[in-house]
A and B are shown apart, each in its own frame.
With several copies, the nearest count.
Chain A
């Protein structure tokens, strides 16, 4: 199947970041956004662990072992970076200063709900900073593979798994394209090269609306 690879999904979402935004990148595919060339836009990447103003992941041998992003990757710092502790980092988050948080998810619903902290039959979960970010950031973007390994859709009418936060997702990048939750379905903002509307609709658990 054609479509976008992981870095291309990240690149496509990163194109949406506006000049001057403060952007939080979650574990997994979202962290790839900081590798994207953002041209002359001023973007500040913020990580939950108090790193303000980081840049691309560094190659082996060039890492500073005291410095990781939210995904545990050894990143670089951009000029003007600052370090704060976890409470100050989440002060930035809860006070609404994050322009967009980009996260992975298990499921996204057409009403903007998403689920990324607990799989159905597990006793525990992995929340991390996702609930703080999703409840307080100005925008929530999600990056995820369009379907599960067994081909089940992840873009749904309603989440089956316990939600992380309700009604907050405004943009979703998958390997098949860029979609916006629109209440009863997902508006198709863009399809990845080689992906037809019908292919995307078949892989989606909610109506797709021509964008």
Chain B
């Protein structure tokens, strides 16, 4: 092809145009699928007043890897939308937490299944839906509920985003993605929810058509930019644990 493709040479180029105020979803769950390299590039790029959507703001464990907590520390974040805005053990503290407690960053705490479904809804053209989750809790206080077939449900809205940062195992040049094992987690949903999906890819980009159509996890329709992860030490590898071993 002589046309510009989806492949970018490096992380810096792939995030260069992200404006102040962007809404960005970050994939990953407890390591696998986390876009460490794109996040690192965004720390250098410096966009401000970001809204960051993710399972957690990160940083509960050492060594730190590039995470939303670091973007907060770097003064780049206005708001986070997460299933964890504090650590689950009272003795731990997330790097994010003191910024939140001082009112320097906003936070919206969302149950994990609701977070996933709101992203999926945004990617599916469903503006709102009802869920049984969080009914009767502090999170439902003052919010709209509805009785359906005798059970109470909470109204939840779609969560669209400007960008998704995700990490995949393999990609072809058309943007078709495969994830390995629990790396999949939020990746396909954030790709659906985003206007622009940027993917850091572990294996070299494959030629168009190299992935069996029946085994594509995310269609290239949802994918706009692909960046191969360089080997360490320049690129960050699979998980925190492997990094720790170095």
Task: Give the interface of A toward B (CB within 8 A).
Answer: 19, 22, 27-28, 42, 44, 46-53, 63-68, 70-72, 74, 77-87, 89-97, 104, 106, 116, 118-119, 122-132, 135-136, 162-166
Nearest A residue (CB) for B3: A42
B209 at the interface (CB under 8 A from A): yes
Residues of B within 8 Å of A65, CB to CB, are: 31-32, 238-239, 241-242
A126 touches B119 (CB 8 A): no
Within 8 A of A (CB), among B196-235: 208-209, 211, 213-214, 216-217, 219-222
Residues of B within 8 Å of A28, CB to CB, are: 88
- Assembly CA distance A130 to B122 (angstroms): 21
A127 touches B109 (CB 8 A): yes
B26 at the interface (CB under 8 A from A): no
Total contacts A-B at CB 8 Å: 218
Residue from A46, A80, A82, A85 having most chain B Cβ neighbours under 10 A? A82
Count contacts on B: residues with CB < 8 A to the other chain. 76
B185 touches A50 (CB 8 A): yes
Expressed in whole angstroms, the minimum distance between the Cβ of A158 and any Cβ of chain B is 14
8 contacts between A and B (CB under 8 A): A79-B208, A87-B189, A89-B116, A93-B113, A95-B123, A104-B88, A124-B94, A132-B112
B31 touches A68 (CB 8 A): yes
Residues of A within 8 Å of B192, CB to CB, are: 91, 95
Residues of A within 8 Å of B161, CB to CB, are: none
- Assembly CA distance A74 to B138 (angstroms): 33
Expressed in whole angstroms, the minimum distance between the Cβ of A73 and any Cβ of chain B is 8
Residues of A within 8 Å of B87, CB to CB, are: 126
B62 at the interface (CB under 8 A from A): no
Expressed in whole angstroms, the minimum distance between the Cβ of A160 and any Cβ of chain B is 13
